[in-house]
Amino acid sequence: MNSEIRLSCHDVERYLGEEESRVHALRGVSLQLDPGSVHAVVGPSGCGKSTLLYILGLLDSPDKGSVAIESQLMSNLSDDELARRRNELIGFIFQFHFLMEDFSAQENVMIPMRRLGRLSEEEMLERAGGLLEAVGLGDKRRRPSRHLSGGEQQRVAIARSLANDPKVILADEPTGNLDTANSERAFDLLKNLVHQGEKALLLVTHNPAIAEACDWIHEMKDGRIIASHPRSSRS
């Protein structure tokens, strides 16, 4: 495998549900994400986009096939090891922000850092402050997250996904709950951070404008990637 590849999966199959309600959610999906690249996964609801995202994010295991982060296979790792890799290497952004409501903005950003345990309390505060500054929320760092607007909450979620300086960012409809202006702002922010930090971003989106702005668009249907379009082929 190429050592430059941040994240890849090969021939991933996944079944969901039991017996009669069993669904073949992913049917041999292969994908690779290079550093500094932004990938969009598009497709109708129920085509397997989120399932793919959770498998790539090590939250779910494939029934067949493999996932590798920075060329290292994740298949044989224990649950604790997978959690450690998630903490160190992956940043998640969800459609509904999924912030800890009782925590302030900066406390939310510090949650992954606490688990990593490499920084002191002061260093964590400083880094959280810097990340919130970068997403334009420097003045609201102490505000409880439930008192922030939807756009602000999503920006906190973006800052949190970057807390441990991950190699890969996975976003499940990160702008799905935002108005157009906030949606564009959040996406631009993410794109810049990915390009500057040589990270890889994979986002699931229904927004054609956002998909068009990505380096790659992967079309999914019935659990398969039916087409992948690089930016060059679209222009």
Partner 1 sequence: MTPPLYIALRFLVHRKRALLLSLAGVVFGVAIFIGTQAQTEGFAQYFIDSTLGSNGALIVRSRFRPQSTMLIPPKNSKTQASHRSYFEGIDDASAIMRVSRQFSNVVSCSPVLRGTLSARAGFENATVDLYGIDPALHLQTTDLAHQIVNGSFDDFRNNPNSVIIGSRLADVLNVEPGDTVQLLPPGGEYRRLIVAAIARSGIGPIDATRVYSHARVAQTLLHKPYTASMIIYKLRDPHSAPALAQHFETLFQHETQSWQDREESTLQLFLTLRMSAAITVSLIILLAGFGIFNVLTMTVLSKVKEIAILRSMGYRRIDISAIFLWQGAMIAAAGSLIGCIFGALLTWGVSNIPIRIRGLLYTNHFLVVWDWRHYMWATLLAIVAVTIASYVPARRAAELPPVATLRGSSV
Counting Cβ atoms within 10 Å, is residue 121 exposed (0-12), middle (13-18) or buried (19+)? exposed
Q: Which of 127, 140, 155, 160 binds partner 1 (CB under 8 A)?
A: 160
Is 65 or 98 the residue whose CB approaches partner 1 more closely? 98
98 lines the binding site for partner 1 (CB under 8 A): yes
Q: Is 123 in the site for partner 1 (CB under 8 A)?
A: no
Can you list the positions of beta strands (E) in the chain? 7-16, 23-33, 38-42, 64-69, 72-73, 90-93, 168-172, 200-204, 216-221, 224-230
State which of residues 77, 116, 119, 134 lies at the interface with partner 1 (CB under 8 A): 116
Least distance (Å) between residue 152 CB and partner 1: 17
- Choose the stretch contacting partner 1; rule: CB under 8 A; options: 57-65, 133-141, 188-196, 211-219: 57-65
**Least distance (Å) from partner 1 to the CB of residue 230?**
26
Angle between helices 121-134 and 150-161 (to 10 degrees): 130
Q: Which is nearer to partner 1, 171 or 186 (CB)?
A: 171
Q: Say whether residue 21 binds partner 1 (CB under 8 A).
A: no
Question: In 143-173, which positions are buried (b, 16+ CB within 10 angstroms) versus exposed (e)?
Answer: ebbeebeebbbbbbbbbbbbbbebbbbbbbb
> Running DSSP on this structure, what letter comes out for residue 3?
T
Footprint of partner 1 on this chain (CB under 8 A)?
16, 23, 25, 45-51, 54, 57, 59-60, 79-80, 83-88, 90, 92, 94-96, 98-100, 102-103, 107, 111-112, 114-117, 160, 164, 172
